[in-house]
Amino acid sequence: MKSGKKKDATPRPSVAIVGGGLAGLAAAEALSRSGMLVTLFESRRYLGGRAGSFRDENTGQLFDHCQHVAMGCCTNFLDFCEQTGVAKLFRCDRKLRFIDAKGKVYPFAPIESLPAPLHLAPAFWRQSYLTMSERIGIGTALRRMAKLTDQQAEHLLVGPWLREQKQSSGVISRFWEIILVSALGDSIEKTSLAAARKVMIDGFLAHHHSADVHVPSAPLGEIYEEGIARCLFDRGVRIEMESPVDEVFRKSVGGGFSVSVKDEETLQFDNVVLAIPGRRVKAVLAPRLFEKVPDLARVDQFNHAPITGVHLWYPEPITDLPHAVLLDRTSQWIFAHGETKSPHDGQTPAYYYQVVISASHNLPSGDHAAIIATVTKELAELWPAAATPLFARVITQRAAVFSAAPGLEDIRPPQATPITGLFLAGDWTKTGWPATMEGAIRSGRLAAEALCRRYGRNEQLVTPELSHSWLCRKLFY
């Protein structure tokens, strides 16, 4: 996609953004507001990276690889959607629904008239699948969690810490895991208490709208290609699809950067933002440059976790719930996507659902039939019509998220590097957030801020987080 703007007569700093995932798109959007001359290179045919879509061969329809949602605490992601004109393609739900093994639905919604964190207290007390003493124990653990220092929390594992707080195995599996595994994408036996605190305090308790759930009402691929890309195009950003960058190098110290694009000529830029997974940076950045960024040598210490999406198409609706959290099952979340066409023939009307299983290490690798059988059996226990789908598909992203392990914050690199004009972006960089869409957007904006500072411009491109309520500060800090 070529730029829709005419060239400015005044020379502007040029920027090559390598990678069209959320981090790269966020950097492009922020820099386009800052007057930079931006070119974005994406190696694949679609934007969005891991938070992307695929096009079904039979129907031609777009379907997301895995369901993604944002929460109200994701201030930068939500602002990015506003800036690019796609906020209208997300619906905001303030009510969650938990379904136990017997099929009973427990609504979880805030009370507007109460200050945070008390706005969630009535909803919490209605979760009667937990005993009264268990709920009191959870409240005590949350308060202790909030009072830990960052340094203390960063170097503790969630699972052992919860057991030290006398949290039973039932409470851990039915409360802590169901929230934290979905939010962090990995087992609580592998993730840091600091990451868990980010989810529980900032993501639920700190503000009236922290726990709002923003669900895309269109495939993410459509949102990127027809919404975000169009906005960037109108702002003068040049987007080069199917343009893998082979190498980024410098011909002279202090000069600009050469960007070698496969099957094309080498292009020159004043600045480069590498918005690609950390494990790919070494393959793209010239060895002499890579050696000058010591933080990059530690990227191979990152571990990753898989997320599995089970896509199901039925002849009739199986439930009227838009989404629900499933307790005591392999299946963790179910999302309803309405009427579409079944991929098995591209013609039969069908109702599309997606089941999400985070930290899916223990699912039978490659045995899609077994995974589908497990999921449909679990759903049929709640909704008998779910036993026999018209069509089913399993998609697992093996490195969907980085594991927020204890001590990881110590090795996440900042967006600015020791090399003038070279910047990093990606949820794996130092953002203060775990591997989320919010973290990716923040990284792109932080990279853009660092780039602007190179030219003496202290621009505020990162949206502040939601402020903690006065009562939250008094209770927890």
Name the token pair of 346: 């591209």
Amino acid in the structure at residue 226: E
Cα–Cα dist 154/216, whole Å? 32
- Confirm if 274 and 19 have CB atoms less than 8 A apart: yes
Q: Confirm or deny that 171 is annotated as ligand binding.
A: no
CA gap 30, 27 in Å, rounded: 5
217, 238 Cβ separation under 8 angstroms: no
Q: Are 367 and 360 in contact (CB under 8 A)?
A: no
Instruction: Name beta bridge partners: 308.
Output: 357, 396
CA 428 – CA 440 distance, rounded (Å): 8
The two three-digit tokens of residue 36, written as one number: 């930079």
Contact of 278 with 426, CB cutoff 8 Å: yes
CA 337 – CA 37 distance, rounded (Å): 39
Beta bridge partners of 55: 62
Q: Omega into 117 within 30° of 0, i.e. cis?
A: yes
Task: Give me the residue label for tokens 């009227």.
Answer: 320
- Compute the C-alpha angle 457/458/462, nearest 5°: 125
Check the CA dihedral 151-155-158-162 and report its sign.
Answer: negative
The token duo for 276 is: 């690609």
* CA dist 260 → 175, 237, 252, 461 (Å): 50, 19, 16, 29
C-alpha pair distances (Å), 428 with each of 67, 275, 298 = 20, 10, 12
Q: Are 93 and 103 in contact (CB under 8 A)?
A: no
Tokens of 19: 């990678």
Tokens of 234: 């109108």
How far are the Cα atoms of 45, 107, 216, 325 from residue 321, in angstroms, in the given order? Answer: 34, 11, 16, 11
Measured in degrees and rounded to the nearest 5, phi and psi for residue 295 equal: -60, -30
**Residue positions in the annotated binding site?**
245
**Residue positions in the annotated binding site for FAD?**
245
